[in-house]
Structure 1
Amino acid sequence: ATGELDAATGAYEVTNADAHAWAEVYYPGIGWVEYDPPVQEEPDRMSWLRKLFEPGWTRPALGVLGKRIGVALIAVVLVNAFILAVVGASPAQWGAGWLRRRRSATNPRQLVALSYLDLCRQLGRRAQARGAWQTPTDYAREVAGSSALPEPLRHEDLPKLTTQFLRLRYGPTPPSSEEAQAFRRHAASLARRIRRAARTPQQSRPPGAPLTH
């Protein structure tokens, strides 16, 4: 699909980088309708920074050389402040923000999407990371080919949950709150099993050895 999915809103954000891509939406009784975002002028996201560096801001107090030095110093201060802000945000803070968004999700489809993305992060850490271009079905198929998790998780549990996710997230009938909460519990349970399986070393069975239970 065109753009990036915003899990918090359930909408796609289309930027100029997607101007030569398009999405198609299927309408019952009409068919597939193509949506092609037009090319437009790139938004000037750095205008505030350019205004800060305008000569008029520094000319009264600095000469030509002083102006350049002042601009360079301001740039260094801004860059350092940005780095400190990013580094200072601990993983726990990022995790707390994600948890707050998930708990505050009121739209059932939104809750389903957040729960699935949470499961994908667990799979990315323990088995196989999901590419931004992969559909849920493609991702489940790739995880099934990985040996990092037990076979039942890869070949049974994840495909079933993926089918359930596609139905609840993109099906013609919106899920109820109860269905969304049930999916959240199902995804969380599968994520816990993935964590436990990743901590347990997989034992290989010698060729010809009988199965033990």
Structure 2
Amino acid sequence: MKRHSRAAALAAVLTALTLSMSACSTASDGTTGSPESSEAASSPTPTVPDGYALTEVPGTGLSIAIPSSWETLTAENSSDDALVERIAQARGMAPEALTMRLEDSQLISVDTSDTTDYAENITAMQDTEEELDGLPSEEEFTEEFLSDREIDSGEYARVTTGSGADAVRFVFTATGADGQKHHASLVLLETGEHTFFAVAVDAASTSRAQELADAVIGSL
């Protein structure tokens, strides 16, 4: 595939992520105090919300917050046929198609419960390509990633992870290949030279997609 820019390379990464188709960057509130106490109070620390579990993403050196009731598939447990079958059934996929996703992704986590009508899911991957150099601007993101997709609405934001790193969050609603509306979010984090960590969330609503993304961002 010919790539013309870093955003085009990111588009390839994010396309591989998708299974179905500005909260952390607030400014100072101006509170006064000594520089020492202010710095101590604002020292960034990753957090995991109640109801979530910090889950390792194999091969990346990173862990992310995922709802504790979800089931997670990685290359390390992909030989568990029962697990693969449950996740594939929840996603409406053939088991073989699901495991093939692990060629591009390091983690696939899915709500396999039968208590909801929608199998929410999170996919995470890390990729290294020469074109990947710095987080994409909103213009790059829109022109390169969104131009050929049926995006109905979306919100781009530069955010800060729990450990203080810069990241991008994009929350959107799109029309999938199945003709259905999908509510999703994307999180991008630069983890090294030409290397990005990316997380895709597919959720039951836009607010839920942002909630799940913010949990991931806060835990990194």
Instruction: Please state which structure has a larger fraction of its residues in strand.
Output: 2
Common topology (TM > 0.5): no
Instruction: Please state which structure has a larger fraction of its residues in helix.
Output: 1
TM-score (normalised: structure 2): 0.20
TM-score (normalised: structure 1): 0.21
